[in-house]
Chains A and B, each alone.
Chain A
Amino acid sequence: RKEVEQDPGPFNVPEGATVAFNCTYSNSASQSFFWYRQDCRKEPKLLMSVYSSGNEDGRFTAQLNRASQYISLLIRDSKLSDSATYLCVVNWMDSSYKLIFGSGTRLLVRP
């Protein structure tokens, strides 16, 4: 099993649609979770952290389910500018601290 797994997509949705991505992780000891956004050929940028109680930032909502070891990202009222690849990121709790990045889910928002 991959350490962090995501559906690569692409998810092709019309403007205004609601779209959700899931991500699963294998290390039950992980404590920190993030969604990063990456535009084509650009650097990843933090979109939002994911907290145990769930959190919202404008049109974006992140949820964490520790029992099932998955994280979700919900985007409401999709904009053309939301087109990007969304990376699920999990910290890896072992003797050497590091973050593990999923390979990303690609979102295409069409007019």
Chain B
Amino acid sequence: DADVTQTPRNRITKTGKRIMLECSQTKGHDRMYWYRQDPGLGLRLIYYSFDVKDINKGEISDGYSVSRQAQAKFSLSLESAIPNQTALYFCATSQSTDTQYFGPGTRLTVL
């Protein structure tokens, strides 16, 4: 079984809809992250959390929110999706070392 899972894997939605992306991990890591990846831009950090209830903004947090209610789960919400939020979204986890372990990604398309 995968250590870091993401649901859904693919989603197509319309502008203005609320979307939630879920991330779960069985690695027992304290730190969790959400990134988005766009062609030619690499991975960009949206939000990260070092513990339950700890939330920190990354470089591109506008238009997104997150929730960390349990150590193993970190969810990302788009309150009102817009087309430029079409991207590949990755969740990642880490413990005290810097190494991050990524989930399989969610491909989101906003029409």
Interface of A with B (CB < 8 Å)? 4, 8, 32, 34, 41-46, 49, 87, 91, 96, 98-99, 101-104
CB distance from B61 to the nearest CB of A (A): 12
* Identity of the chain A residue whose Cβ is nearest the Cβ of B88 in the assembled complex: A41
Interface of B with A (CB < 8 Å)? 35, 40-45, 48, 56, 58, 88, 90, 98-105, 107
Please, could you name 25 A-B residue pairs with CB atoms under 8 Å apart, sorted by A?
A8-B40, A34-B98, A41-B88, A41-B105, A41-B107, A42-B105, A44-B43, A44-B90, A44-B102, A45-B102, A46-B99, A46-B100, A46-B101, A49-B99, A87-B43, A91-B98, A96-B56, A98-B45, A98-B48, A98-B58, A99-B45, A101-B35, A101-B42, A101-B43, A101-B44
Bound complex: CA A32 to CA B88 (Å)? 25
* Identity of the chain A residue whose Cβ is nearest the Cβ of B2 in the assembled complex: A43
Decide if the interface of chain B is mainly helix, strand, loop or mixed.
strand
CB distance from A102 to the nearest CB of B (A): 6
**Which residues of B have CB within 8 Å of A98?**
45, 48, 58
Are the C-beta atoms of B45 and A102 separated by less than 8 Å? no
Are the C-beta atoms of B99 and A43 separated by less than 8 Å? no
**Which residues of B have CB within 8 Å of A45?**
102
Are the C-beta atoms of A102 and B103 separated by less than 8 Å? no
Q: Which of B44, B98, B102 has most chain A Cβ within 10 Å?
A: B98
Bound complex: CA A44 to CA B36 (Å)? 12
Are the C-beta atoms of B40 and A32 separated by less than 8 Å? no
**Which residues of A have CB within 8 Å of B88?**
41
Bound complex: CA A96 to CA B59 (Å)? 11
Bound complex: CA A8 to CA B58 (Å)? 24
**Which residues of A have CB within 8 Å of B102?**
43-45
CB distance from A55 to the nearest CB of B (A): 14
Q: A43-B104, A96-B56, A98-B58 are in contact. Are A103 and B42 (CB under 8 A)?
A: yes
**Which residues of A have CB within 8 Å of B100?**
46, 99
